[in-house]
Structures are given as structure tokens and as C-alpha cells.
Structure 1
């Protein structure tokens, strides 16, 4: 026999209206009661009628997750976004909320996708999984007053946009300091993006660490076009660099392949520190020394913050929300 709202209410010793409010995540119901009722719903294999629930609340009971424009192989294959999606989906499911993904090959198509989802009321709000300078998607969400949470620090309107983040400047600083502690004096910062906020923050952290140590800083080495890769050995030769701070794990593997192609061994000739501690960090030798940013916690907190907005609960922007840690592996050599 299929259980009903009344069956759940009787077993939980609450009224059927309370069960309905729990299903709709109403703010008038305490966290303890919600946990109690949801546990009983799970035990009884009770599933709310989604159509009836949506009509009653005038909501889609779905949140959208906006991935960055998938305009490169690194972005298309980056496991960070899969980890983030999994954390968001698991957190949303705990509130009986579904998730939908917005993705496209470029910003124009992505904006059209997001606009359609919003105008057709397919979702109640969005989680924007990236932060980029002059991003048309974040501008649209802000101007249209659409509930959204940003994963990363906003490029502007920091006081008005709700966001969750690591301290990316501190990440860049600590990665560079680790190399300095190992005896490296000529260190380069290498990236395949130059408009994302994490690029600016991590590069600023790199500069800060070197300046505080009285060591030379270098312009960021940005690999945006195929011809940029051909200048790699010349840059290494001109700077005398012995170590690289690289924007993320997947691009770090690309740079290690490039270094090997030009006769530089990692870590014997070039040491490498990257970010994210993704599955790629331990797929091939040498294993990457990298900084773990706790993607799961970013996704969980981002989802909770979005649901607070949708439910009109008090909320505020957050910075430096998730701690990080350096994972020492095989890509850094200590110099004498």
C-alpha cells in the first residue's frame, strides 16, 4: 500500500499540514521537525507528488547549475565541475529539490539557455559555478533579480551578491611560499585563463609571497593560444625559473607534458604546485603537489545559501568559507 501524507503525519505525531510544510521546506517549521519528518518519509518510502506540490507553492522545486562556457578541452574535461555538481545534487535532494544543468560552448549560447530556463520558470534560482570578469550571465541574473549564489568571489558588486569561496589569494601565496621554503627563487605563475577571478586572486597571492621574500616577480605566463605554447622554453630560459605555480591540476598535467617535450624533467629541472587536488593529481607520475580546496563543501554551502534566498530567509555574502590544505606529493624538489 502506498503511504499518504496522513500516514506520515500519524507516525511522526504531527499534523498533515506540518508534513506538507516540511515537503515544501517552509521556514515556519523547525530544523528538528524537518529532520524528523524527512527521516520517517524515507523509512516509509513516501515520495511527494511533485506536480501537486509545485502547483501549491507556485515553484519549480528545481535549481539550475550554470557551468562556465565549455570552450576548451581543459574546461570540458575538468573534474571539478562534476564534483561540484554531485555535491549540489546531494544537498538539494536532501531538501526534496531537483537540479538542472545549464551549459554551452560559449557565453552567448549559455546566456540564451539561462534566460530560457528563467523565463519559462523551469527553476527557482541558480548556482553560478564560476566567477569571470564582465560575465553576461551574472549581470543578467543580478539585473533581473533572480535568486542566485556564486561559487567564487564576484568581480564586482561584492556587497550585493551572495557567494561562497576559498581565500584564493591566500592559496596563491601559500603555494608560492612552499616553493620558496624549498629553496626556489625564480618562480613563474602559469595559467590558461586570464579573465576568471581566481586567476587574478591566485596571481596576486603569488606576487605577495615573492615580494615579502624579497624575490623577483614575473608577469603571469598565460597560455591562451596555440602559439603561446611555442614560447615556453624561451620563457624558462630567459627567467631561469626552477618552479611553476599553475592555475589548476588538469592544466598542470598539460604543462608537465610540455616541459617534458622540451627536455625539462619534473621535478628535477622544474618543480610544480597546482590547485584543486582533483583525480588527475594521482593518475600519472609524478603525482602532483596540489592544494585541496574542498569542492564538496563549496557545493554544499552554495546550495544552502541559494535555498535561503528562495525561501526568503536572512542570508549574507560569505568570503573565505572553505578551508584548504597543501597535499605534498612528487612534483616539488628541494634545492640545496
Structure 2
């Protein structure tokens, strides 16, 4: 049988409301009463659940960080999310806030987790670390008028959302421009997602760069399903591509390994550029040329903007904050002009 607040109150000889106030460390309760109630809680082995702990409190003093569905190895192993959580946690500490993480393998379960966190007053607001076309969570947060910020550009309702992002279209353009500047003319865009907003923006930027340079455009090469991998050799042979723009570092490492298995040397036969400038850029040779998206700023600014909403410092109906980026040249892009 589980121990309840009533059990603690009965043994301590106090009202249940007093036990709730002790759980919340309310200043109206004397230190002597707090010590007595806490002693009884220890003796009975009572652990307050989050709903009880937050009973009567206006705030939970916590931020919910929502990760996208972790349904692939790339998602599970992508350091972007761990780096983002750490940055948010570091910034949250400055506001005496803790961080709770919501994760799942699909959107239905993820939404259920977010709903539970909100109902039980586990968190005061949320930071979404992604922008996905099929995401039901933004709709839920807006309908319930729950404070949140978004890392990424929303698909809809920009007028209702505070979000922080890179200029992903510019990132895609500059990555492609870099390859063009090095003498590449047949360039492919490679991705493992086609429903996240950063994919659309980076692919638009890729297309813009090629159009402005009067170079051929190619359809996106998507590896969302395992059966897509065997077709890669055929795509390379048909397009005669000499360079690839890849959606992020982790997937770029996988593509480089695949290309090498197919007999292509990087960068001699195939140049590669990607995004995030994560730890994967220097784990294997050749070191990966990548665009640094400044994850630290994305996480800290998202946290600051959420705290501004929670403390009513700045009440924005919508706000976009653009974080600058930097291209880091390493070893995976060959300068064909000097070959």
C-alpha cells in the first residue's frame, strides 16, 4: 500500500494542507513543524510526487525540453540535441530553474508526455528543439496557451510563436557557394529527413546558389528509408556529381563511408560539406568541412526568451531571433581549380 499525504498528516498530528506546505517549503510553516513532518515522511518512506509537490505553487521552477521523435540511429546519436540540452540547462541555472526532458519514438507518445508534464505542473513552459511538419505539440501548446519557444522556424502560425534559428536558407546557399567557388559544378543535396523545416530551408538555399551561378539543379537525394542506400551509386554515376551538401555532420560521416565503400575517395573524387560543426567533424579522416550553427547561442537565447515570457518581462506575440553562423574549412572539399 502506498503512503499518502493523509498518512503523513495523521502520524505527524497536523493538517494535510500543512504537509503540502512543508513539501513546498512554504515560509508560513515553522522550522520546528517542518522538521517534525519531514521526520515522519522519512519514517514512513513517503516520497512526494510531482503533482503533490507543486500543489498550491504557482510555478514548478522547471523548463521542459522537447526532443523530436528519436526513431532513427542518426537521431539518437546526433550530438546537437545533447549539446542543446546542456546549453539550456546551463542558462536555466542562472534563473534557478531546472530542466526536464520529453522524448519518445513517435509523436503520439511525445505529445502524451508533454500533456502529462503540463497537467502535473512539472514544468512552467517548454523549449522545442526542432520544427517538424507533422508535429502536434505546437498546436497543443498554442491551444492551451502554454509558454514556449522554438529552436527552428515554424511551419505555420509564425505570428503566434517566439522562435530562435539560424538563417538556414543562407546556410544552404553559402555551403553550395563554397563548393562552387572551389570549381564544382555538379553538386547534390543529401538528406535523411524531408519533413523538418531546416531541410526545406537548406535545400532552397542550395537551389538558389546553383540558379544564380547558372549551374544544373538536381532533385534532393533522400535516404529516409534503408532501401534508398543501394541507389546511391546509380545516382552518382548518372549525375556525375563531384560534390555533396549533406544535411548534418553525423549523416555526412555515414555518406562519406558509403561513398568510400562504392569506390569514391573523399575529397579526391567527391567533396563533402555539412552543417553543425559537431564532434563528428574531427573523429575520422578526412576532417569534415562544416558550418558552425552556434548551438550554444541557440539554446541560451531560447531559454532567455522563454524566461522573458514566464516573468512577463517581454510579452511578444511573435519574435524571431537569428543566430549567426561560420563556415569551418577542413579536409573534405577539394579545390578543383588547382587540381
How far the C-alpha of 1:54 sits from its partner, in A, is 6.3
Aligned equivalents of 1:142, 1:84: Cα separation in 2: 23
Match of 2:218 in 1: 218
Which 5+ residue runs of structure 1 have no aligned equivalent? 1-50
Match of 1:255 in 2: 255
Aligned equivalents of 1:133, 1:180: Cα separation in 2: 31
Match of 1:6 in 2: none
Aligned equivalents of 1:270, 1:144: Cα separation in 2: 49
Show CA shifts across 1:185-237 (max 9, x none): 00000000000000000000000000000001111101011110000010011
Q: Could you list the structure 1 runs, at least 4 aligned residues long, displaced by more than 6 angstroms after superposition.
A: 53-56
Q: How many residues align?
A: 287
Show CA shifts across 1:229-250 (max 9, x none): 0000100111111000000000
How far the C-alpha of 1:134 sits from its partner, in A, is 2.7
How far the C-alpha of 1:309 sits from its partner, in A, is 1.0
Q: Secondary structure, in 3 states, of the residue corresponding to 1:236?
A: helix
For residues 1-336 of structure 1, the aligned pairs below 5 Å read 58-316=58-316, 317-319=318-320, 321-336=322-337
Q: Secondary structure, in 3 states, of the residue corresponding to 1:159?
A: helix
Tell me, yes or no, if the aligned pair for 1:166 and 1:319 is still in contact at 8 Å. no
Aligned equivalents of 2:113, 2:179: Cα separation in 1: 43
Q: Secondary structure, in 3 states, of the residue corresponding to 2:158?
A: coil
Q: TM-score, normalised by structure 2?
A: 0.82
> Which has the higher mean CA deviation after the structures are superposed, 104-113 or 191-200?
104-113
Q: Secondary structure, in 3 states, of the residue corresponding to 1:258?
A: helix
How far the C-alpha of 1:318 sits from its partner, in A, is 3.8
Tell me, yes or no, if the aligned pair for 2:54 and 2:122 is still in contact at 8 Å. no
Q: Secondary structure, in 3 states, of the residue corresponding to 1:163?
A: strand
How far the C-alpha of 1:292 sits from its partner, in A, is 0.1
Match of 2:46 in 1: none
Q: How much is the aligned-residue C-alpha RMSD, in angstroms? A: 1.7
Aligned equivalents of 1:320, 1:118: Cα separation in 2: 26
Aligned equivalents of 1:172, 1:210: Cα separation in 2: 11
Whose Rg is larger? 2
Tell me, yes or no, if the aligned pair for 1:266 and 1:331 is still in contact at 8 Å. yes
